[in-house]
Amino acid sequence: MFTLFFLLVLLFVVMIFIRKQVPATPQAQKAFGILKVLVIVGAFIALVLSCIVQIGPGQVGVPILFGSVQDNVLKSGLNLVNPLITVEELDIKTQAYTMSVANMEGQIKGDDAINTLTSDGLTLRLDVTIWYRVNESEAPNIIRTIGTNYEEKIVRPAVRTALRDISVKYTATDIYSVKREDFIIDVTKNLEKSFDGRGVILEKVLLRNVELPDKVREAIDEKISAEQRAQQMVFVLQKEKQEAERKKVEATGISEAQKIISNTINPQYLQWKYIEALKDLISSKNNTIVIAPYDQKLMPLLNLNQQQK
């Protein structure tokens, strides 16, 4: 719009020059009059259009007047502006910056994974995605101090630096397994400090993949398997201990029962049980003769089977 406005001004200057060269004939004067009306109408329309700027959804506009960045921010939609300004648009939606080993996944095509050292001297390869957005109120300051390529100037260097600064505080196995979340939290805090005052708001750090050296990965897998076997053995030992306790309780019950029975049995009780048993045996139809022990206190019992009759 700014260029169109100055073209119309230039056209007016040309019209004045042509006016001096037009013959005084009625036909020429009429043609020049029609041309002048068209130029005036066109200039008016261009002036109106140059005062209206449309900002797309999820974006803001930063007005610039003769190279000076203005402090006001244009919201999405139609905005009335000075026809002499230009507008630089910034995206304020959530954006993702990915550095990955996989081709065609990140902003840099090809292998863009981050190589970093850990506290135990091992080299890791990290795939990471950062969710961030531009602070709407800081848009003028971003244009003034950074420019529109803030992703390459601020986001990418800050992410790489944060990952390398934090990884040296952790061992490879910690980042790979047990302290992965702690590692992400520390990286997030580091990035928030780096973005502070830069007009960039960090939303989330996504650690997508941790690639270990082959020998380390095999050692970790073996360690995890050993821990699982140890946990299984603890379960087996607990089960065996419970079974031993059960048998101990059972043996104690049997021992107590035997003590009670032995205290209640006497010779008279055994003699009575013996007589009862002989009585049942003599009464059985399958026996013809019963031979019983004999002593001075117990009379023998003979079976007088009715078949002898």
pLDDT band at 164 (very low <50, low <70, confident <90, very high): very high
Q: CA 292 to CA 279: how far, in whole Å?
A: 11
Most confident among 3-12, 61-70, 158-167 (mean pLDDT) = 158-167
Picking from 72, 48, 73, 53, the residue whose alpha carbon sits closest to that of residue 61 is 73
DSSP state of 283: T
Picking from 86, 107, 111, the residue whose alpha carbon sits closest to that of residue 96 is 107
Kind and range of the H or E element at 165? helix 156-167
Whole-model pTM?
A: 0.59
pLDDT band at 221 (very low <50, low <70, confident <90, very high): confident
Tokens representing 79 are 């905005």
Residue-wise pLDDT for 231-285, tens only, equals 888 888 888 888 888 888 888 888 777 777 777 777 766 677 777 777 776 676 6
3-class DSSP assignment, residue 224? helix
User: What dihedral angle (degrees, nearest 10) is formed by the CA atoms of 102, 105, 111, 113?
Assistant: -90
Dihedral sign, Cα of residue 166, residue 154, residue 134, residue 57: negative
Most confident among 69-78, 199-208, 238-247 (mean pLDDT) = 199-208
Report yes or no: 168 and 145 within 8 Å, Cβ to Cβ. Answer: no
Across the chain, mean pLDDT equals 79
pLDDT band at 120 (very low <50, low <70, confident <90, very high): confident
Q: Determine the pLDDT at residue 121.
A: 85
Residue for token digits 């603890």? 234
Arithmetic mean of pLDDT, 73-88: 82
Q: Determine the pLDDT at residue 184.
A: 93
Number of helical H runs and strand E runs in the chain: 9, 9
Is 308 a residue whose pLDDT tops 50?
A: no
Tokens representing 189 are 């805090």
Q: CA 154 to CA 161: how far, in whole Å?
A: 11
Q: CA 171 to CA 182: how far, in whole Å?
A: 12
Computed on alpha carbons and rounded to an integer, the radius of gyration of the chain in Å comes to: 50
Q: CA 115 to CA 117: how far, in whole Å?
A: 7
Tokens representing 216 are 């380390």
Q: 97 has which bridge partners?
A: 130
pLDDT band at 302 (very low <50, low <70, confident <90, very high): very low
Q: Determine the pLDDT at residue 71.
A: 83
Is 309 a residue whose pLDDT tops 50?
A: no
Choose the weakest-confidence range: 11-20, 164-173, 193-202, 271-280. Answer: 11-20
Residue-wise pLDDT for 122-139, tens only, equals 888 899 999 999 998 899
Output the CA–CA distances (angstroms, integers) from residue 240 to 26, 234, 237, 254, in the order listed.
Answer: 121, 10, 5, 21
DSSP state of 22: S
Instruction: Kindly give, in sequence order, each residue whose CB lies less than 8 Å from that of residue 131, ignoring residues fewer than 6 positions away.
Output: 94, 95, 96, 202, 203, 204, 205, 206
Q: Determine the pLDDT at residue 231.
A: 84
Q: CA 193 to CA 186: how far, in whole Å?
A: 11
Q: Determine the pLDDT at residue 155.
A: 92
